[in-house]
Amino acid sequence: MEGRREVVVTEEEWPNAAVAFARAWSVLLGKGGGMAGGRGGSALLKSAGRWEVRGSRTLGGEVQYLCLERVAVAVGEDSRGEGIGEGSTGVELWEVEESDDDEEALAGPTTLQPPASRDSGTGVVHLYDFHVVHNPSYQVPEVFFFGRCGRDGRVLNFEEVARDFSLHAPYSQEDLSSVFVPKEHPLLLLPWYGTHLCETPGLLRAMLAPREGGCGLHLEPELRYMVSWWSAIGKHFGLGLPLELVKDSLASQQDVVREKSVTRAERADINP
């Protein structure tokens, strides 16, 4: 009987996994998210922008982490009952103080695509930053997120955050309140939010186990891991990647790569 190997991404594997995920995301959503929109991806996914990989200096050297920032989440009226009028696109954004090390890797502002629902003129937008940091204890990626009001930069509380995502994810505010948890960002040392972690290794083990009939995704291991991981997490934010899209776009690319390398190997056999 096959031993149950821990399904983890080690510290050594993490940087490659992060880069592979960021690249794959760009491939899937690069063209204005059009592909995603047509395949069951949410409006939020279309406008979310791209992941970047940044480095942060810590005691143990530099660690890489993924960032997806300034994701504009339309929330209708502000939870305080105030809407905003048109012409409010020129907001002054209050910046979370980040460590100096992050600045050198900033790639410039992500272009905001205003969500369709803002056209009504009374929609409020909350801006969310997502960071994915490798957790060295559980050896899995860990998502952290933080929200602020797009109009006045006010930091959003737990209830507001759960409510915001309940408008875009297939979960109620109560469901999300039991998944989300306040957590300190391990690099910024500031209060952000995260998700309950303990279940993740087991969940991933189940998802990545080899199956009869081979209906799993044919992707490089790190990318397969990250895509599987995000498929468990991303849907809580309305940012789940549609499976069909992943299979068609990514898997076919991987097949092309594999065909090329097979051909090279065959050639090597002929011409040693």
Partner 1 sequence: MEGTKPTTSQAADVQREHWRGAVALKLELHPDEVTTVPPPAPLFVLAPRLGYLPQVAQQALEHFGSVLPPGENEIWFEYQGVPLKWHIPTGSLFDLLSEGDGQYPWCLTVHFRSYPRNILQQVTGDSMQASYFNSLKESAYVLTGSSNSVMSLTKKSQQELWQNVLQSQDVEFFANMQKMDLAKPTRSRIPIRVYHREKVFDSFTGWKSIDYLSKSFDIDAEKDELTARHLFRDCLKSHSEEELGKVKLVVAGVELSLDVNVGDMYSHLKNADNWLYLVLKPATS
Q: Which residues bind partner 1 (CB under 8 A)?
A: 6, 58-61, 96-97, 99, 136-138, 155, 157-158, 181-184, 186, 189-191, 197-198
Please tell me the distance from the alpha carbon of residue 65 to that of residue 187, in angstroms, as a whole number: 10
196 Cβ partners below 8 Å, 6+ apart? 179, 181
Handedness of CA 68, 74, 75, 81 (dihedral sign): positive
Instruction: Give the nearer residue to partner 1 in terms of CB position, either 86 or 184.
Output: 184
Least distance CB 6 / partner 1 (angstroms): 7
- Greatest alpha-carbon pair distance for the chain in Å reads 73
Burial of 70 (0-12, 13-18, 19+ CB in 10 A): middle
- How far the first Cα of the chain sits from its last, in Å, is 39
Least distance CB 71 / partner 1 (angstroms): 20
Instruction: Give the nearer residue to partner 1 in terms of CB position, either 77 or 184.
Output: 184
Task: Identify any residues that bridge with 133 across adjacent strands, giving them in sequence order.
Answer: 65, 142
Instruction: Give the nearer residue to partner 1 in terms of CB position, either 189 or 265.
Output: 189
Least distance CB 3 / partner 1 (angstroms): 12
Least distance CB 98 / partner 1 (angstroms): 10
Is residue 151 within 8 Å of residue 84, measured between CB atoms?
Answer: yes
Instruction: Give the nearer residue to partner 1 in terms of CB position, either 47 or 195.
Output: 195
- The values of phi and psi at residue 64, to 5°, are -95, 145
Instruction: Give the nearer residue to partner 1 in terms of CB position, either 60 or 90.
Output: 60
Least distance CB 189 / partner 1 (angstroms): 5
Please tell me the distance from the alpha carbon of residue 245 to that of residue 209, in angstroms, as a whole number: 22
Instruction: Give the nearer residue to partner 1 in terms of CB position, either 78 or 142.
Output: 142
Least distance CB 238 / partner 1 (angstroms): 25
Instruction: Give the nearer residue to partner 1 in terms of CB position, either 58 or 111.
Output: 58
What one-character-per-residue DSSP string does 58-114 give? ETTEEEEEEEEEEEEEE-SS-TTS----SS---PPPPPPP--HHHHTT---PPPP--
Least distance CB 2 / partner 1 (angstroms): 17
